[in-house]
Chain A
Amino acid sequence: MSTILKNTSQSETGKSSGSTPPLLQVIDLGFSYGAKQALKNINFELITGRFHALLGPNGAGKTTLFALISRLFNLQEGDILLDGCSLRKAPAQVLSNVGMVFQQSTLDLDLSVAENLHYHASLHGIGEARRRQRIAIELARVEMENYQHTRVRTLNGGHRRRIEIARALLHQPRLLLLDEATVGLDTRARTEINKHVRKLCMNQEVGVLWATHLIEEIDPNDPVTLLHKGQVLANANSLEICQRSGHANLVEAFESLTRPQQVKT
């Protein structure tokens, strides 16, 4: 069943429609931690301005996939293209267009919000004047402009996440990666962040890859890549995944597809 889902749905997830070239292309990606294969033959595409969900249970390989797209891990098999530019051949060009919000908070707790943001912007080679301007814009966008001089340690989880989103956008990337960005947040904060990121897709023309295991964060028309045990089980929007798997909703489809006995190894 999983193979059928994958093969019949690729066109809907933006596979070379001709008029809209994909922003991100993941091609035959494979990765192993020693003898343990974490990702196998991963293929999918993401279009600019779309909120693309990467759905998978814990241990599916989402974080490893993100580590590869962001060059934290070196590529082993396959390639990743951003705007047609290969991560293998031109990593600097790709990385300058990728922003990331990590699963675990990576803000420096002892520094202020502004100090954290200045550090990140300078790592992308942005000069002082531009840095100040970009920080003001991005903090205003997440409604945190009054927190510039607040020590990060004193912020709550929701506010820290907002700062991390602002930070990831400082260098104006074309692709934003969010690795389970709402983990540990209450329902209200989760909804707010999800809405904010969707707005970014629409207004800023940023492509978003949103890794999650929470199905309620996915809208029916979102393109979804369903990852399980390091393999892509489905590439389609959630409605189509439901239709093709014969289930009434994505929760049931997800449970059915990721149930141990149905996984091909």
Chain B
Amino acid sequence: MNLLAYGHVFYGILLRELMKFIHQRSRFFSALVRPLVWLAVFAAGFRAALGISIIDPYQTYITYEVYITPGLIAMVLLFNAMQSSLSMVYDREMGSMRVLLMSPMPRSYLLLCKLMASAIVSLPQAYAFLLIARLFGVKPPLEGFFWLAPALLISALLLGALGLFISSFIRQLENFAGIMNFVIFPMFFMSSALYPLWKMQEAGEWLYRLCVFNPFTYCVELIRYSLYGQFNSEALLIVLTSLILFIFLSILCFNPQRGH
């Protein structure tokens, strides 16, 4: 197989993910509605109760809606990643995973293509949410839209790899929802998505420690900084390291026999 053939394989997998996304319009709307409800209802209520002081990367006092938006963008990525993992379990149960695995390409390459395709599909969802967030007064600089793309892609890949890793341990589709409750919500709540880490530290040292060890925190911070045209090297380093670790683990643990 030459390099061009590898390109065709990636193109095919990406096209399928895009087609499925286009055919499942409800998936797009639910991906938008979820964070918008948080922005419109949750953030509006908390605005009065929670003051945010001047913290990086913001230059001035900000509203709670502005603070929460990067976390909600990361939430879009997180749900998309878990949805993609869910579809991997579904494909495995329904048999369509076999079509993918019968490709003569190395299995690790096929899984990487699947991860990348799923990450790319999550980008328009994140941008669509960001555009609607402007109606709520969230107006990051225009160059932020440009710098956001690589941060979104890396974060989406990490969350996708994490989802793939988790799906390796799930025998049946029914088990997935339960496990997701123990992954999505703790990951989201125990991060800097809703409150800055110093607030978490005030609430409790153990909670702060959990947030610091949560890779989702660094996805949120990477997105937050890039959205304002700034670079957070610590977040990037941790996200990249976690990405490599979870890609390695997900490929290592991937077992198409599971469920048989």
Contacts and interface: CB of A to CB of B under 8 A. Distances in A.
A70 B95 contact: no
A104 B6 contact: no
Place the interface of chain B in its size category.
20 to 34
B98 A125 contact: no
Contacts of A51: none
A10 to B, nearest CB: 29
Given A70-B102, A104-B95, A111 B4 contact: no
Interface residues of A, number: 32
B96 interface: yes
A110 interface: yes
Given A72-B98, A100-B102, A108 B16 contact: yes
Interface stretch (B19-27, B134-142, B198-206, B227-235): B19-27
Contact of A106 (B2, B94, B103): B94
Interface in A102-137: 102, 104-108, 110-111, 115, 118-127
B10 to A, nearest CB: 9
Interface string A57-101: 000000000010011110000000000000000011101101010
Given A122-B9, A125-B6, A127-B4, A71 B95 contact: no
A33 B260 contact: yes
B16 A72 contact: no
A125 B1 contact: yes
Contacts of A122: 8-9, 11-13, 15
Contact of B257 (A73, A98, A115, A125): A73
Contact of A111 (B13, B19, B103): B19
| Interface of chain B: mostly helix, strand, loop or mixed | helix
B95 A123 contact: no
Contacts of B207: none
A124 B11 CA distance: 11
Contacts of A108: 16, 20, 96
Contacts, number: 91
B54 to A, nearest CB: 48
Interface centre among B1, B2, B6, B19 (most CB of A within 10 A): B19
For A91, A110, A119, the residue with the greatest tally of chain B CB atoms inside 10 Å of its CB is A119
Nearest to A177: B102
A158 B218 CA distance: 51
Nearest to A131: B8
A153 B99 CA distance: 18
Interface string B78-97: 00000000000000001110
Nearest to A112: B19
Contacts of A100: 98, 102
Across the A-B interface, the 7 shortest Cβ-Cβ residue pairs: A122-B12, A125-B5, A123-B103, A95-B104, A92-B104, A96-B104, A106-B95
Interface of A: 33, 67, 70-73, 91-93, 95-96, 98, 100, 102, 104-108, 110-111, 115, 118-127
Interface of B: 1-2, 4-6, 8-9, 11-13, 15-16, 19-20, 23-24, 94-96, 98-106, 110, 256-257, 260
20 contacts: A33-B260, A72-B102, A73-B257, A95-B102, A96-B1, A96-B104, A100-B102, A106-B95, A106-B96, A108-B96, A111-B20, A119-B15, A119-B16, A122-B12, A122-B15, A123-B100, A123-B103, A123-B105, A125-B2, A125-B4
